[in-house]
Amino acid sequence: MTGICANRVVVVTGAGRGLGRAHALAFAAEGAAVVVNDLGAALDGAGASDAPAREVVAEIEAAGGRAVAHGGDIATAEGASSLIATALETYGRLDTLVNNAGFLRDRMLVNLTEDDWDAVVRVHLRGHFLPLKHAAAHWRAETRAGRPAAARVIGTTSGAGLLGSVGQGNYSAAKAGIVALTLVAAAELGRYGVGVNAIAPAARTRMTEGGFAGLRGLPEDVSPLVVWLGSGGSEGVTGRVFEVEGGRVTVMEGWRRGASAEAPARWTPESAGATARTLLSTTPPPLPPYGSTPTP
C-alpha cells in the first residue's frame, strides 16, 4: 500500500474502540502495518475480551491492509513486552508506538477509593510507561547495532491533565504524568532517532459521552494529526503537546517562568507572602479546571 506511513509498523494500544480504533484504521489507510492492542475491558476496566481487537483487524484486512491483534494487558511487564515482540515477530520491525489505552472511574476526591485511584493511574500512566520502555530498549539496541531508527511515539494526555477536571482527580493526575513522561522521553530518546509527542484529544467516544456530551469532534478528526506525528514527515517535532478537537489543532504551551523577585537576604514569611501577592497581581490567573465554578 502507499501513503505517508507505507512500510512502517505501528502499534496502537486501546485500539479496539473509540480513538484507538480510529488511529489504527487511519494508519492502515496510509500504508502502515498495525498491531491492534485492546484488552476488551468495560468502561471502568472490568472484564476482558479479544473481540474488539479482532474486529478492527478484520476491518483493516477487508480494506486491503495488514494488521494483527494483541489482547495483552500493557500495564504489566509481560503484556508490554509481548506487545513489542508481536510487532517484531510479525513484521520484523517497529516504527511507531501510539499509547492510547485507558478507562475512567470518576469520583469526587472525598469519595475516591484507593482502588479507583490505583486502577486509573495504572492503566493510563503505567500503561504508557511500560510499552514505551520496551519500545525504547529495542530502538536503542537498533541504534547501537548501526541501524538508527526514525521512530515515533505519541502519548495520549487530556485537557484534564493540563488544566484539571472536577470529579476526575485520578484521571487528571495520570494524564498530567503522561505530559511529564513525554518531555523526559523526548529528551532521553532523541539520540536514538525517536521523536516523542503527546496529544490532548477531545472527541465523542464511549468514555466521554456521559460527562462531556457537548463535544463536537469525532475520533476520526483526531487521527490525521496522530498519523502525521507517527510518520517520517514529523522529523524534528518532539517534546510537544497538541490539543485536537474537531477541525482545530492547538500547540499547548507548558509551564514557563513568569514574574519573579529575588531578596537580598533570606525571606521572612511576611516578606515572602507580600512579594508573592505582588507577583500574582501582575500574572494572569490560570485557566479554570473543567467542571469548576468560576470565581466571582
CA dihedral over 206, 208, 212, 216, signed as positive or negative: negative
Using the predicted structure, report yes or no on whether residue 251 has a pLDDT greater than 60: yes
**pLDDT over threshold 70, residue 177:** yes
> Among 34-48, 123-137, 183-197, 204-218, which is the least confidently predicted range?
204-218
**Helix orientation angle between 127-144 and 169-189, rounded to the nearest 10 degrees:** 10
Task: Name the CATH architecture for the domain at 9-251.
Answer: 3-Layer(aba) Sandwich (3.40)
What tens digit of pLDDT does each residue of 205-246 get? 545 555 545 556 899 999 999 999 999 999 999 999 999 998
**Residue boundaries of the structural domains of the chain:** 9-251
Provide mean pLDDT across the span 273-279.
96
d(Cα 209, Cα 199) in Å, to the nearest integer? 19
Q: What is the mean pLDDT of the chain?
A: 93
Catalytically active residues are 158, 171, 175
Q: One-letter amino acid identity for 95?
A: D
Q: Give the model's pLDDT for residue 296.
A: 44
CA angle, residues 23, 69, 86, in degrees to nearest 5: 100
Mean per-residue pLDDT for 122-140?
Answer: 98
Beta bridge partners of 120: none
